[in-house]
Amino acid sequence: MTEAGPPARLAIVVTPFARADVVAAACAQLGMRDAIAVPAKTGVIVTRPLPAKVAHTDWDISELFGEAPSTSPDDDARPGAPAAGGVDSGQAAVGDSDASGAGDGASGPSARAGEELATAMSTITKRGIVLVTADLGVDTGPETGLAGHITAREWYAGKPGDDVPPGLLLANADEVLEDIVLGRRAPDEIAGAIRASDVTGRGKKRRLFGKEKEGP
């Protein structure tokens, strides 16, 4: 077990399924080959990477109070002048995310990986799943250690439902979930974990899951 540190940004879904191998196969069939299925006593946990947080190294006062005034009152009137935000209208600024989420495909993790995973997993079980997100980092102030917040939400039939108290969820879940959320162990370090990208062959999705576990 590694020492606790800043966890990698992950979409984490708690499912009622019993077998990590068939969950990984389903993720592969659904095109989520970056998913990892991790066995746990309370049901298979599935993770997908999220884009790393962008550190702000440059800022100006307009970020606090809104748009900075134009340097010249005639700027907006000049033919061909860029639209507000510094780019021509109809063009996105370099690095902006599109509506489908930046990072899809070869460019890196998708910003919508959690929604995609929760939608897929919740549509193949009548019991629903829980999507866990954690915004954690290392506090370098007087008290060192992990700081931030954790949220959890139920999903049913492809739609988000009620929030779940994260403390209650972690208290009743297998310690595997807590280890992943807090960054104590990476998903692929846990015994029995299977990457969707390592799954070979294809089967009928309707027969993948078999019997689900009794508890979430």
Task: Pull the structure tokens for residue 49.
Answer: 């990477």
Which pLDDT value is given to residue 187?
95
Query: Would you kindly state where each structural domain of the chain is located, as residue ranges?
Result: 10-54+105-207
Task: Pull the structure tokens for residue 78.
Answer: 């000049």
Task: Pull the structure tokens for residue 151.
Answer: 């949220």
| CA-derived radius of gyration, the chain | 21
pLDDT (tens, 9 = 90+) of the chain, 216 residues, equals 444 445 678 999 999 999 999 999 999 999 999 999 999 998 999 999 988 775 544 545 444 445 544 444 444 444 444 444 433 333 333 333 333 333 344 568 888 999 999 999 999 999 999 999 877 765 555 555 556 678 899 999 999 999 999 888 988 888 999 999 988 899 999 999 999 999 986 554 445 444 555 444
Count of beta carbons in the 10 Å neighbourhood of residue 92: 10
Question: What separation in angstroms does the CA of 38 have from each of 46, 91, 159, 174, 186?
Answer: 6, 41, 23, 11, 10
Which pLDDT value is given to residue 188?
94
**Rounded to two decimals, what is the model's pTM?**
0.67
Which pLDDT value is given to residue 170?
87
